[in-house]
Amino acid sequence: MGGEGASGSENALRAYLLEQAQGCIRAPVGRFRHPWVAPMPASIAATRQLRGEASDGPSQHADPRLGDGFLAGDYSLGLFHHDASESSIELLRHPELRDAAAGSLLCLLECASPDGCIHRAELPHHTRDAEPSKPMIAQYALRVVQALGDEGRNWAQRHRVLEAVIRFVRYLEEHYGGLHGLFLTHSSRQSGFDSDILTAGMPPKSVEAPDTNAFMVLEYRAIGELCRSLGQSDAEWEEKATLLRERIEGILWRDEGEAGYYVGLRWQQRSAAEADEVLGFIGPDRQVRPCQSWTGLLPLYAGIPSPQRAARLIRKLTDPAGYWGPWGVRTAPADDVFFHQARRVMVYDERRNQRSPVSNWSGPVWVLANYYLARGLARYGESARARELALKTVRLLANGLAQQGRLHECYDDLGRGLWPEKGTFISWNLLALTLLDELSAQPAG
């Protein structure tokens, strides 16, 4: 689909994304000693700040309330672990973008705390958020090593990548173990899914969520593969991956008729039963209903469910009345009382003791969610559904680009871009190209 058979709109999207990706690359500056990648091309304000960082220190936006610009939708000054990691899936396929994708990882590793914590968001002059990144650093590192080919092993050894990755995972094991034997999510912000119903507004480190634990399984597996590639034993990590997968299956799974999904848990003092600890709400029938989010589908991406459970999970995913929308996966089911596709959401931020606007992950369609779940469908042999979702993703961005001349981070069921209001969001929108090349050309049957 990326060659002669591609449509004009697909070719235009490809050219636009790769050109704009070049504009997302930043030169080494301040604490960042390597080329790095921001989620969007540099705005005028970010360019001025970067120039100030290189000379007399960081300048400030005219309005101090805007700070680094993130609340206004200008993400061009930041290095986000989640954006850098997942956009690298596509960036590393292009030699001209590879150095910046690898450099972003090195910047994150070098800015880690002495205790091994790799932070979720960094600025050139200081750590923006002390919260840890989500467990995807080992996956990122493995991706870079594999993309570098014969040089990958030397690169990893030269930069002591495996050591940094293991220190970070041991930090998570020490500080984020939950009382059900699963891993805690620090907050909805740290998860990357800012308004996700399972974690938004909850106290820090109080929820064992399916997304965090699914990514942790992948993280353990990635460390094991890194160890093998560097001639070290993988036994510890493979064992941990297996044990965590079994706990997810044994604790978080819930049946729902012919379908099923994974829930979030919050440990409660003196709870009568594990079911009492499921995150939920009281419905009109006065029955407790588990909160549902697309993150309860993410174990599919990690290959966690058995084939039988995967089939039930896929029924949940592909229900048009719920998650399966005209442009891809809704991040909350449309038939849920909490579903909405507002541009932004107000969520309480305990760090600032105030509410702040955040990106909406409670209904809109995100390319990242489409990518994860298209790959999950393909993993379990659902090639037709995976292809359908890949094509929806590409057409969503291609139509948005043709109509608005730029791209957004999320969209509604009419295909309208929601946020940000200015600039063009690149980041993991690059994954539309990965889907185009890897899944959309597969046979439909």
- Domain ranges, ordered by start, for the chain: 31-175
Distance CA 340, CA 364 (A): 7
In 67-199, which ranges are continuous DSSP H helix?
81-91, 95-110, 137-147, 152-158, 161-175, 188-191
DSSP-based three-state secondary structure for 136 = coil
Give pLDDT tens digits for 12-56. Answer: 999 999 999 999 999 999 999 999 999 999 999 899 888 874 434
- Which are the contacts of 28, defined by CB distance < 8 A and separation ≥ 6? 34, 35, 36, 103
- Which are the contacts of 396, defined by CB distance < 8 A and separation ≥ 6? 327, 328, 365, 367, 411, 415
362 with 340: CB under 8 angstroms?
yes
Burial 426-437 (b: 16+ CB within 10 A, else e): bbbbbbbbbbbb
Arithmetic mean of pLDDT, 218-224: 98
Q: What is the pLDDT of residue 443?
A: 56
Give pLDDT tens digits for 370-408. Answer: 999 999 999 999 999 999 999 999 999 999 999 999 999
Using a CB cutoff of 8 Å and minimum separation of 24, what contacts does 357-360 make?
Answer: 357/71, 358/188, 358/189, 358/194, 358/195, 358/200, 359/194, 359/195, 359/409, 359/410, 359/419, 360/194, 360/195, 360/331, 360/410, 360/418, 360/419
Q: How confident is the model at residue 441 (pLDDT cuts 50, 70, 90)?
A: low
Q: What is the pLDDT of residue 52?
A: 79
Residue located via tokens 């990518």 = 371
Q: What is the pLDDT of residue 351?
A: 77
Q: Is the dihedral of CA 186, 189, 190, 191 positive or negative?
A: positive
Arithmetic mean of pLDDT, 289-302: 97
- Flag whether pLDDT at 153 surpasses 90: yes
20 with 403: CB under 8 angstroms?
no
- Flag whether pLDDT at 62 surpasses 50: no
Q: How confident is the model at residue 440 (pLDDT cuts 50, 70, 90)?
A: confident
Q: What is the pLDDT of residue 6?
A: 65
Q: What is the pLDDT of residue 269?
A: 75
Arithmetic mean of pLDDT, 287-306: 96
Q: What is the pLDDT of residue 354?
A: 84
Q: What is the pLDDT of residue 65?
A: 44
Q: What is the pLDDT of residue 258?
A: 95
- Flag whether pLDDT at 63 surpasses 50: no
Q: How confident is the model at residue 349 (pLDDT cuts 50, 70, 90)?
A: confident
Among 252, 254, 231, 236, CA closest to 154:
231
Distance CA 266, CA 205 (A): 9
Q: What is the mean pLDDT of the chain?
A: 93
- Flag whether pLDDT at 1 surpasses 90: no
Q: What is the pLDDT of residue 125?
A: 93
Could you write out the three-class secondary structure of 345-368?
EEEEECCCCEEEEEECCCCCECHH
Lowest mean pLDDT among 101-105, 125-129, 166-170, 411-415: 125-129
- Flag whether pLDDT at 243 surpasses 70: yes
Whether residue 58 has a cis bond before it, omega within 30° of 0: no
DSSP 8-state assignment for residue 178: -
Q: Give helix then strand counts, H and E, for the chain.
A: 15, 15
More confident residue, 359 or 354: 359
Bridge partners (DSSP) of residue 354 are 349
DSSP-based three-state secondary structure for 303 = coil
DSSP-based three-state secondary structure for 304 = coil
